[in-house]
Amino acid sequence: MSENAIFRAEGLSKTYPGVKANDNITFSVTEGCIHALLGENGAGKSTLVKTIYGLVRPDEGRMWLGGQAFAPADPHAARAAGVGLVFQHFSLFDAMSVAENIALGLDNPPPRRELAERIATISRDYGLPLNPNRLIADLSAGERQRVEIIRALLGHPRLLIMDEPTSVLTPQEAEILFATLRQLAGAGTSILYISHKLDEIRTHCDRATILRGGRVVDSCNPRDHTARELAAMMVGGEMRDIDRSGRRPGEVLLQVRDLSLAPLSIDGTSLKSLSLDLRAGEVLAIGGVAGNGQEELLSALSGEITSAPGTIALEGQDMSRLGPVARRRAGLLAAPEDRLGHAAVPGFSLVENALLTAAPRQDLAPGGMIRRAAARSFTERVIAEFDVRTPGPDTAASALSGGNLQKFVIGREVLQDPHVLVVNQPTWGVDAGAAAAIRQALLNLAAGGAGVIVISQDLEELLELGDRFCALNEGRLSDPRPTDGLSLDEIGLMLGGAHGMEAAHVAA
């Protein structure tokens, strides 16, 4: 197998202060093959990708590309040697045109007109329609990804790295993407496919290398294994089952009627006449592809943005015009997606971060004067009950790992005894253990009689937690459906299907 390996890594290691991000990583990618790199968040996938793309230099180890030693000093060198990368968090420039974005990712871009022609050719060949003159800010997530793919393809890569490409796509859109990748592989381009989604890896990838804690733990043909087996390799142990028992829907707690809202930013989405009912003891799952109004919905419910009178009511009381503090007092709490910078202030200690949202409900600052001892003991309770690994309550939020900070953020709201809790992406970028703990805490909260809204892009999470499911698509909310018996395919269609994308030239 190694004689037709297009890429080989041997003994790659990279240490950051306190973490061994990559530890003696060895694997090879065969020519014309879709090779999956599978691992949890924090397993070392992105460090490995950055190493191959010349953004990080390994402490030890060597790489070969096409039989030659390969040690890129920077991305220019990596591209010149034939590596293309489609970034997970798009490396695009919002206020610039598609053509300019593509030119920025090429080392010797042709003149404007010729570049436009080449973009057109590639678009046609791979069924990726794109207008080079449009601004990135006006494109959907799927279209933005196309820009990234075309940019990478224009460099004629021998190895194309796709970093978690389907996290912004509906299942139908992902199918179209895989058709494109299959076509590329058929033409001889090798693809290194980074993901933690087991099902798509099992159906579409030829080979899988599994990373855990910075090491390669296994290498296999993913089709020979069940999703559960792959998950066990990835997590290193049996998966924990979640206890969904003990919930009985009660009376309606939160009523949203005809909620409309302008977008938060130029690349945000407006909410269009949204309505929903949330009952006591219920978990309402709201799914959607990133950028379809999730941020706006959370901000409207948390009170960061006020809406027209009568649009949001908690236990019959109008909340629409109230700010976050008043809503917290009434029992409507929220935990936003972005942990550092939205849910928590990075440079603040955990005590200070607790004060930020828990002061009104826990009476931590009567009349504005902070009760330090009370704030501290509340923080300690969150740390203890949610198993937050931290040197102490005075540690800065930014010093915690993603999973621990997320446990703190969720715990801070859950322990305030909310009537309704709204969470956005509660387990995004969190290791499996922390994710399971957070999900269980949300279910327990509902079992205790509170209403919970979970907004997420992780469909499996939504099916696991939700009693009813709604899809958020382009700022519109679908009617809720019971999650029992709902298939991923049906959900995909609720999320807008392929958004009019065409599956051009499939298996041409």
In the complex with other proteins, which residue's Cβ is closer, 159 or 432?
159
Q: Work out how close the CB of 421 gets to other proteins at its nearest, in angstroms, rounded to a whole number.
A: 14
In the complex with other proteins, which residue's Cβ is closer, 34 or 92?
92
227: amino acid identity, one letter: A
Q: What is the spatial distance between Cα 10 and Cα 394, in angstroms, rounded to a whole number?
A: 42
Q: Work out how close the CB of 8 gets to other proteins at its nearest, in angstroms, rounded to a whole number.
A: 23
Six token digits for residue 505: 């030239």
In the complex with other proteins, which residue's Cβ is closer, 102 or 284?
102
64 Cβ contact partners less than 8 Å away, ≥ 6 residues apart: 5, 7, 8, 10, 70
In the complex with other proteins, which residue's Cβ is closer, 144 or 204?
144
Q: Helices marked H in 194-264 — which ranges? A: 198-204, 227-235
Q: Work out how close the CB of 201 gets to other proteins at its nearest, in angstroms, rounded to a whole number.
A: 25
Q: Work out how close the CB of 185 gets to other proteins at its nearest, in angstroms, rounded to a whole number.
A: 25
By DSSP bridging, strand 207-212 and strand 190-195 are unpaired
Q: Work out how close the CB of 74 gets to other proteins at its nearest, in angstroms, rounded to a whole number.
A: 5
The DSSP letter of residue 268 is -
Q: What is the spatial distance between Cα 30 and Cα 7, in angstroms, rounded to a whole number?
A: 7
In the complex with other proteins, which residue's Cβ is closer, 284 or 359?
359
Six token digits for residue 16: 């950051």
CB 182 within 8 A of CB 34: yes
Q: Work out how close the CB of 370 gets to other proteins at its nearest, in angstroms, rounded to a whole number.
A: 6
In the complex with other proteins, which residue's Cβ is closer, 341 or 482?
341
In the complex with other proteins, which residue's Cβ is closer, 349 or 473?
349
Q: Work out how close the CB of 279 gets to other proteins at its nearest, in angstroms, rounded to a whole number.
A: 26
CB 49 within 8 A of CB 193: no
Q: What is the spatial distance between Cα 357 and Cα 253, in angstroms, rounded to a whole number?
A: 21
In the complex with other proteins, which residue's Cβ is closer, 114 or 484?
114
Residue carrying structure tokens 């504005």: 368
CB 102 within 8 A of CB 155: no
CB 219 within 8 A of CB 236: no
373 Cβ contact partners less than 8 Å away, ≥ 6 residues apart: none
Query: Cα dihedral sign for 205, 105, 337, 499?
Result: negative
CB 21 within 8 A of CB 14: yes
332: amino acid identity, one letter: L
In the complex with other proteins, which residue's Cβ is closer, 34 or 350?
350
Applying CB under 8 A, which residues contact other proteins? 17, 50, 54-56, 59, 74-76, 78-79, 87, 90-96, 100, 103-105, 109, 266, 302-304, 323-325, 328, 334, 336, 338, 340-348, 352, 355-357, 359-360, 365, 368-370, 395-396, 398-399
Q: Work out how close the CB of 243 gets to other proteins at its nearest, in angstroms, rounded to a whole number.
A: 30
Strand order in the sheet with 317-318: 271-279, 252-261, 312-314, 317-318
Q: CA geometry: angle at 332 spanning 329 and 334, to 5°?
A: 115
Q: Work out how close the CB of 22 gets to other proteins at its nearest, in angstroms, rounded to a whole number.
A: 12
Q: What is the spatial distance between Cα 48 and Cα 28, in angstroms, rounded to a whole number?
A: 13
In the complex with other proteins, which residue's Cβ is closer, 17 or 500?
17
242: amino acid identity, one letter: I
In the complex with other proteins, which residue's Cβ is closer, 13 or 444?
13
Q: What is the spatial distance between Cα 271 and Cα 311, in angstroms, rounded to a whole number?
A: 12
